[in-house]
Amino acid sequence: MSKEKVVLAYSGGLDTTAIIPWLKETFGYDVVCCCIDCGQGEELDGLDERAKLSGASKLYIENIVDDFCDNYIVPCVKAGAVYENKYLLGTSMARPAIAKKLVEVARKEGAVAICHGATGKGNDQIRFELGIKALAPDIKIIAPWRMTDVWTMQSREDEIEYCRQHGIDLPFDAQHSYSRDRNLWHISHEGLELEDPANEPNYDDLLVLGVTPEKAPDKGEYVTMTFEAGVPKSVNGKEMKVSDIIKELNALGGKHGIGIIDIVENRVVGMKSRGVYETPGGTILMEAHRQLEELVLDRATYEVKKDLGNKFAQIVYEGKWFTPLREAIQAFMDVTQQYVTGEVKFKLYKGNIIRAGETSPYSLYSESLASFTTGDLYDHHDADGFINLFGLPLKVRAMKMQELKNQKQS
């Protein structure tokens, strides 16, 4: 009789490597590893050998970079989705894309369970599991770090020793480094000196995608981008798919110290956590998109979009991607983006994105209206009546207060 299969979300790191023999020993499962490439680069080198050596029966390496960019990043850019004013959702956006691919592999393999290595304190366990529950309610979820009765390892040393006992001698050391998550959009850093909000980040050790503004070139660099219906189409005159645009902007942003944020954020599970995020290309892309929207969107739409953008960010942060609410807000955003088409120019200089002009065939900016000369569309006398009506509630209230004050005094 063949063993039941489990699909393990595999990164090749120490945690998920130790989980392979643990799953076999604890549950008797046949372990199918699934490594999902969202643009994390050289982290994927040598995974095949490592997974097999650790006892996996099979390893899938699934490249979802374009799916991640087109179907997760672009909707968030269109929505202007930023969590708590700073975080551009790098990890949050990738998790539903990963969950979807894990479910696909589990279905293909006929697996009864999916296992992930996310801790019991973080947001990722929620994002993975809400995605799996929404797409495959019948598949069991295994989260070793929450199963403290059977998962007894408490430290990197414990995991290294466990691997050794199982004949897995791998190039891991017990030294604790930053806890990082990387994909095409960003890299996050937690741990070490960042665990105390009183400490300044040690940027020289920390940064991976770029440099601090102090170390950026002394000369600024102009960049031109185009958008069509809210989707980025070109950088400096070169048309590219979205993933290549993000790569290009990452290189430019990293060079000029763009997109480094230090944040104390509120996790879904209720605690505050401190992290540093590097999102060089994403920061430029969001800012360029916002720059064009200012020209094209009317005031009322812009106002509602801002509120729904915050809501969208919260939905994504909380792992509720596969929900009717996310779909509904995304549909609203798509309508707002119909005319977000045009060209944006800006200068990158020492951590700053400095506006240098924008044009759109759908621009609502009227030079004759905005200038100080009187045009046909605007009669200054009309402002009298408008201000009288617009200010009427204030005036009525002030008159009432005055009346009451006079009564008290008399």
- Mind listing the pLDDT tens digit of every residue in the chain (410 residues)? 689 999 999 998 899 999 999 999 999 999 999 999 999 977 677 888 889 889 999 999 999 999 999 999 999 999 999 999 999 999 999 999 999 999 999 999 999 999 999 999 999 999 999 999 999 999 999 999 999 999 999 988 999 999 999 998 877 787 878 999 999 999 999 999 999 999 999 999 999 999 999 999 999 999 999 999 999 999 999 999 999 999 999 999 999 999 999 999 999 999 999 999 999 999 999 999 999 999 999 999 999 999 999 999 999 999 999 999 999 999 999 999 999 999 999 999 999 999 999 999 999 998 878 776 666 788 889 999 999 999 999 999 999 999 999 999 98
Q: What residues are annotated to the active site?
A: 15, 95, 124, 179
Residue type present at position 183? N
Q: Name the residue among 40, 47, 186, 37 with its Cα closest to residue 101.
A: 37
Q: How far is CA 22 from CA 25, 146, 177, in A?
A: 5, 14, 24
Sheet harboring 238-239: ordered strands across?
Answer: 238-239, 231-235, 221-228, 342-349, 352-359
Q: Find how far residue 395's CA is from the centre of its chain.
A: 47
Q: Is the pTM of this model over 0.85?
A: yes
Q: Are 264 and 177 in contact (CB under 8 A)?
A: no
For domain 179-297+340-359, say whether CATH 3.40.250.10 is its number: no
3-state secondary structure (DSSP) of residue 226: strand
CA distance 14 to 146: 17
Structural domain boundaries in the chain: 5-79+89-165, 179-297+340-359, 373-409
To 5 degrees, how large is the angle CA 279–CA 176–CA 167?
115
Neighbour count for residue 64 (Cβ, 10 Å) = 19
3-state secondary structure (DSSP) of residue 363: coil
Neighbour count for residue 178 (Cβ, 10 Å) = 19
Residue 175 DSSP symbol: -
The sign of the CA dihedral 40, 45, 49, 54 is: negative
DSSP letters, 178-210, are -EEEE-SS-EEEESGGGGSTTSPP-HHHH-SS-
DSSP letters, 81-145, are --BTTTB--HHHHHHHHHHHHHHHHHHHHT-SEEE----TTSSHHHHHHHHHHHH-TTSEEE-GG
Right CATH number for 5-79+89-165 from 1.10.510.10, 3.40.1350.10, 3.60.10.10, 3.40.50.620?
Answer: 3.40.50.620
3-state secondary structure (DSSP) of residue 225: strand
Q: Are 246 and 184 in contact (CB under 8 A)?
A: yes
Q: Beta strand 113-115 with 140-142: parallel, antiparallel or unpaired?
A: parallel
